Amino acid sequence: MSDFFSTIRRRHSVRQYQSDMPVETEKLHAVLECAVSAPSAGDLQAYQIGVVETPSQRLSLSHATGQDFVAEAPVCLIFCTDAERSALSFGDRGRDLYALQDATIAAAYAQLAATAADLATTWVGYFDSKEIARLLELPPALQPVALLTLGYAAEQPRATSRRQLDEVVFRR
Ligand SMILES: Cc1cc2nc3c(=O)[nH]c(=O)nc-3n(C[C@H](O)[C@H](O)[C@H](O)COP(=O)(O)O)c2cc1C
């Protein structure tokens, strides 16, 4: 396990995986435990996380994303909002904003936990939502909002540049 700041620095998207190296059950469990420890509006945790490991399902997911590496990664997590769960307490703000924040914060926690556990990841936001919902037989209440591929890297990830802080941060 690595220190938090080095985990942040080490995390880069990886799009080539060692397809013959599965993710250990304990590691996957630890990643999921970290995901659900994320903060959520009213502690409602208005999301569900799908876990896909079977090769045929991963191939179908890769078709729904148009991105081949999704089939190569041994695990794909699918973060889905459960908007009505948040709406029950928070109305439109829960439905339209908090559920999305809950699900994506959980995904971010999972991504960093995976990095700390020496797993490689990529956040995948481009996909056919209807096709993913059909493949995973999601109930209408669940909306897939982010996929996370997990596995062992088969490439050395490149660091990408970031905007300067003074471009991004404003003070009033
Ligand atoms: C909301 C969101 C959507 C993304 N969608 C995709 C995607 O569909 N396919 C992909 O290969 N990477 C995707 N990425 C990963 C970004 O391309 C990547 O994080 C960015 O280029 C910075 O590189 P780094 O992750 O190595 O720091 C997405 C990231 C985010 C946060």
**Does 11 map to a domain?**
yes
Check which CATH number belongs to the domain holding 95 and give it: 3.40.109.10
Question: In angstroms, rounded to a whole number, what is the distance separating the alpha carbons of residues 78 and 124?
Answer: 9
Return the best residue to mutate from 65, 123, 129 for the ligand 1 pocket (most ligand atoms within 8 A of CB). 123
Question: In angstroms, rounded to a whole number, what is the distance separating the alpha carbons of residues 9 and 159?
Answer: 9
Closest ligand 1 atom number to CA of residue 12:
26
H or E stretch at 81: strand 75-82
Convert the pLDDT of each residue in 98-136 to its tens digit: 999 999 999 999 999 999 999 999 999 999 999 999 999
H or E stretch at 80: strand 75-82
Q: Letter for the amino acid at 54? A: T
Q: Which residues of the chain have a pLDDT value below 70?
A: 1-2
Would you say the CB of residue 66 lies under 6 angstroms from ligand 1?
no
Q: What is residue 19's predicted lDDT score, i.e. its pLDDT?
A: 81
State which residues form the domain around 111. 4-156
Written as one string, the DSSP assignment of 11-70 is --B---B-TTSPPPHHHHHHHHHHHHTS--GGG---EEEEEE--HHHHHHHHHHHT-THH
Would you say the CB of residue 27 lies under 6 angstroms from ligand 1?
no
**Does 167 map to a domain?**
no
Q: What is residue 91's predicted lDDT score, i.e. its pLDDT?
A: 98
Report whether 11 contacts 45 (CB < 8 A): no
Q: What is residue 1's predicted lDDT score, i.e. its pLDDT?
A: 63
**Does 120 map to a domain?**
yes
Question: In angstroms, rounded to a whole number, what is the distance separating the alpha carbons of residues 103 and 121?
Answer: 17
**Does 19 map to a domain?**
yes
CA quadruple 66, 143, 152, 60: dihedral sign: negative
